[in-house]
Chain A
Amino acid sequence: MERLSADSRREKVREAAYKTATTVAAVALVATIALFLVQLATASHASWRAFGLRFLWTTEWNPVTEQFGALPMIVGTLVTGFGALAISTPFALGIAIFLADYASKRVTEPFKYLISLLGGLPSVIFGLWGLIVLVPRIGRLEVWFGTLVHSEALVQAGTTGVGLLSSVVLLALMILPFSSSLILESLLLVPTELKEGSLALGATRWDTIQSIELPFVRKSTVGALVLALGRALGETMAVTMVIGNGMRMPRTLFDPANTLASAIANQFLEATSPLYVSALTELALILFVIAIVINIGARVILRRGVQQR
């Protein structure tokens, strides 16, 4: 009897300890995000005061005259991020559907391993490969296209190969492992009864995929794509190596450009003037807000989708 109550007391203490520990962890997460926002906002105060909202749509970035506008980097970030997503999504879906529904287990396992290997490669390796292998080929493609449409400007912009297009292609490749493996995992979770039922009713395999499996994994697919997009928007090292780091507004996909993350990584270390540092911090704040907006947007889309069903 006594032993039992001692046990239960210990049980209670332990329960309380676990509860506290997990609560602390959860609160710490929320607090970290909030602190990030607060810190970024305070540190970018000087830039905010000097440029206000103009910071978002002016295109001059001049550390000498201390005129700062973020539009070229915002455009660069969005174009490379969404461009990469647009290119890689069909492939990600294709890979996932093939592995989940068409390939035999003997094929699927090594494929899954390869995908996770690709996903684990450090981005500097992607960057090096991009610079040495991808960029010259994209450059030749750009020059070919420029000659085709008789545009001297396109040929000139395309000669080096570095620029928006190279970054889009490289990022598409980099995020492919994320989106494809996440979609694959959720496709594998579709209950066999559903698939078998559909087939039993006379649906073809493609019918089943289209009207049973894809709707079933819609939510997780959007989640996977948002994660992939997040990686593309925040990627720094590989992008810096192939985007050309131009701080002017890009006019075509062939032009050198820059992204928010890459601009910060390039310039922060040697930035000494307070206003310059503050403007760079505001770039970080913008990137942070873009990430939040995209996440919230994905949630809204998902909720609306659910209601319609």
Chain B
Amino acid sequence: MRTSRLHRVCLLLAVFLIAAVVAAGCSPSGGGGVKELSGAGATFPYPLYSKMFDVYESVSAVRVNYNGIGSGGGIKALTDKTVDFGASDAFLTDEEEQAMGAPVLHIPTCIGAVVLSYNLDGNPDLKLDSAVIAGIFMGSVRNWNDPAIAGLNPGVTLPDLAVTVVHRSDGSGTTSIFTNYLSMTSPAWKEKVGAGKSVAWPAGIGGKGNDGVAGLVKQNKGSIGYIELVYAIQTGMPYATVLNAAGTFVTPTLATVAAAANVQLPADLRVLIVNSPESTAYPLSAFTWILVYQEQHYADRSLDQARALKNLLTWMLGDGQQVNEGLSYGRLPEAAVTKARALLSSMTYDGTPVR
């Protein structure tokens, strides 16, 4: 009796195993009335997208699944054509776009900013410029009482304390914004370090993610690190005012961050807005993008799916923008929205525009 029960259990297990293998082999079939879209990519806008898609589901009954697996993962997923859209904090290089095999549209969704957060007694308001920031992160400005820092901060008593540099250890859009800014403004940085989502840091210690960097900064007196504005606002960490290209010291706020996009934007919106010439702009600002194929008939996608995707993106550029500021993400300026709409209208299905 007992053995036969065991036998049956084994059989059942075997059946489950086979079922699992078979299920893993099949892909879920798409099509029909589109109730669901899926995307994957950047973690930076993840809170914004979650909220936006939540609101969108209530107004349109289309559910959007977004996985914050990182920009690299999002690009990979779009290349493999397993998602409707990817999301990235850095626009695709020409080389990367070529690897995608088909033209990709970059639709910006919000403007983010990187701030320099520090841990000093009394939380003084610090002013920094790109030369000092580059000096600190290259390890040449080593003490807080260095004349280079003191010169920008008259009236602030700076301690005789070693500067501890904290950077991101994981590849990230945040690092890309930060290093692009330094490469653009400091020739020494450009030559020795360069720009990218991950670079060879000449100095300091690395923390994983914004929370990793913030944790190390909070724990070490005299440390300075770069984190996203959203994260600094949410955790109440102090951050520096930075000299912009127009020669004004600007505190990062949603308004000064959005102002960075008030520049001549290229039609494809693949543009870095760091070190913006706009007089009120905070210099360490950048777009984050949703990536979609221009030609929507790929894999076995239906016209309905393409339409649903276009509707979603149109909404994100319109009503969806109201979500941005509540969550501390910069709103897209009108000029950027107009150009993004033009990009959306170039979406095609079998060569004819998607309507």
Contact assessment for B14 and A270 in the assembled complex, using a CB-CB cutoff below 8 Å = no
* Residues from chain B with Cβ under 8 Å of A61 in the complex: 200
Q: Is A179 an interface residue (CB 8 A)?
A: no
Let me know if A246 and B14 touch, CB within 8 A.
no
CB B323 to nearest CB in A, in angstroms, measures: 25
In contact, A245 and B208 (Cβ under 8 angstroms): yes
Residue of B nearest to A276 (CB): B198
Residues of chain A within 8 A (CB-CB) of B215 are 131
A265 to B209, CA, bound (A): 12
Q: Which residue of B lies closest to A277 (CB)?
A: B72
Partner of B170, one of A14, A135, A136, A267: A267
Kindly report which residue of chain B lies nearest to residue A269, judged by CB atoms. Answer: B70
Q: Which residues A39-89 have CB closer than 8 A to chain B?
A: 60-65
By the criterion CB–CB under 8 Å, are A160 and B205 in contact? yes
List residues of chain B with CB within 8 A of the CB of A159. 162, 164, 220, 222
- The interface-forming segment of B50-58, B110-118, B189-197, B300-308 is B189-197
Whether the pair A21, B10 counts as a contact (CB closer than 8 A) is yes
B169 cross-chain contacts in A, Cβ below 8 A:
240, 245, 258, 266-267
Residue A307 lies at the interface, judged by CB distance under 8 Å to chain B: no
Known: A241-B208, A272-B71. A62 touches B170 (CB 8 A): no
Task: Flag whether B73 is at the interface (Cβ < 8 A).
Answer: yes
Interface centre among B69, B162, B204, B208 (most CB of A within 10 A): B208
Do the beta carbons of B194 and A271 come within 8 Å of each other? Answer: no
The answer, yes or no, to whether A247 is at the interface (CB within 8 Å) is: yes
Query: B10 contacts A160, CB within 8 Å?
Result: no
CB distance from A167 to the nearest CB of B (A): 12
Smallest Cβ-Cβ distance to B215: which chain A residue:
A131
Please, which residues of chain B bring their CB within 8 A of the CB of A241? Answer: 208, 212
A272-B10 contact given A62-B200, A63-B197, CB 8 Å threshold = no
Report yes or no: A64 in contact with B208, Cβ–Cβ below 8 A: no
Instruction: Using known A-B contacts A14-B7, A159-B164, A162-B216, determine if residue A270 contacts B198 with beta carbons closer than 8 Å.
Output: yes
Residues 117 to 150 of chain A near chain B (Cβ within 8 Å): 131-132, 135-136
Contact B164 A160 (CB under 8 A): yes
Residue of B nearest to A274 (CB): B99
Q: Does A244 contact B (CB under 8 A)?
A: yes
Q: Is B96 part of the contact surface with A, judged by Cβ < 8 Å?
A: yes
User: How far does the Cβ of A268 sit from chain B's closest Cβ, in whole Å?
Assistant: 8
Instruction: Knowing A14-B7, A65-B194, say if A245 contacts B207 (CB, 8 Å).
Output: yes
Residues of A within 8 A of B201 (CB): 246-248
State whether A247 and B200 are in contact (beta carbons under 8 Å apart), knowing that A241-B212, A270-B71 are contacts in the complex: yes
Bound Cα distance A256, B164 (Å): 12
Tell me if B171 and A60 are in contact (CB < 8 A): no
Q: Produce 1/0 per residue, B140-176, CB < 8 A to A.
A: 0000000000000000000000101000011111000
Q: Find out whether the CB atom of B171 lies under 8 angstroms from the CB atom of A270.
A: yes
Most B CB contacts (10 A, CB to CB) among A244, A247, A266, A272 go to: A272
In the complex, what distance in Å separates the CA atom of A241 from the CA atom of B219? 13
Q: Would you call B200 and A60 a contact (CB within 8 A)?
A: yes
B269 within 8 A of A: no
Please state if B162 and A269 are interface contacts (CB–CB under 8 Å): no
Instruction: Point out the residue from B7, B73, B194, B219 that lies within 8 Å of A269, measured CB to CB.
Output: B73
Q: Does A220 contact B (CB under 8 A)?
A: no
Given A21-B14, A160-B164, A244-B206, CB of A272 within 8 Å of CB of B96: yes
Contact of B206 among A60, A64, A246, A272 (CB under 8 A): A246
Q: How far is the CB of B2 from chain A (nearest CB, A)?
A: 14
Interface residue? B288 (CB, 8 A): no
- Say if the beta carbon of A108 comes within 8 Å of chain B: no
CB of A198 within 8 Å of the partner chain? no
Q: Does B242 contact A (CB under 8 A)?
A: no
Residues of A near B196 (CB, < 8 A) are 63-64
User: Is there a chain B Cβ closer than 8 Å to A295's Cβ?
Assistant: no
Select which of B200, B205, B207, B212 is within 8 A of A64 by beta carbon. B200
Contact between A272 and B193 (Cβ–Cβ < 8 Å)?
no
CB distance B219 to A131 under 8 Å? yes
B244 at the interface (CB under 8 A from A): no
Minimum distance in angstroms from A29 CB to a CB of chain B: 15
A17 to B99 Cα, complex, angstroms = 48
Name which residue of chain A comes closest to B71, CB basis. A270
Q: Is the CB of A269 within 8 A of B200?
A: no
Tell me if A208 counts as interface (CB < 8 A to partner B).
Answer: no
Residue from the set B95, B205, B207 with the largest chain A CB neighbour count within 10 Å: B205
Residue of B nearest to A267 (CB): B171
Query: How far, in whole Å, are A265 and B200 apart by their CA atoms in the complex?
Result: 17
- Cβ-neighbour of A270 out of B170, B195, B204, B207 (below 8 A): B170
B222 contacts across to A, CB distance below 8 A:
159
Q: Is B262 an interface residue (CB 8 A)?
A: no
CA distance A131 to B219 in the complex (A): 9
Q: Using an 8 Å CB-CB cutoff, how does the interface string of A237-268 with B read, 1 for contact, 0 for none? A: 00011001111100000001010000001111
**Can you identify 25 A-B contacts, CB atoms within 8 angstroms?**
A18-B10, A60-B200, A63-B171, A63-B196, A63-B198, A63-B200, A64-B194, A65-B200, A131-B219, A159-B164, A160-B164, A160-B216, A244-B205, A244-B206, A245-B169, A245-B207, A247-B206, A258-B206, A270-B70, A270-B170, A270-B173, A271-B198, A272-B96, A273-B96, A276-B198
Identify the B interface with A (CB < 8 A).
7, 10, 14, 69-73, 75-76, 95-96, 99, 162, 164, 169-173, 193-201, 204-208, 212, 215-216, 219-220, 222-223
Given A63-B171, A64-B196, 5 more pairs with CB closer than 8 A: A64-B193, A160-B164, A245-B206, A258-B206, A270-B72
The chain A residues found within 8 Å of chain B, CB to CB, are 14, 17-18, 21, 60-65, 131-132, 135-136, 156, 159-160, 162-163, 240-241, 244-248, 256, 258, 265-274, 276
The 5 A-B pairs with the shortest beta carbon distances in the complex, nearest first, are A270-B171, A245-B206, A245-B169, A269-B70, A64-B194
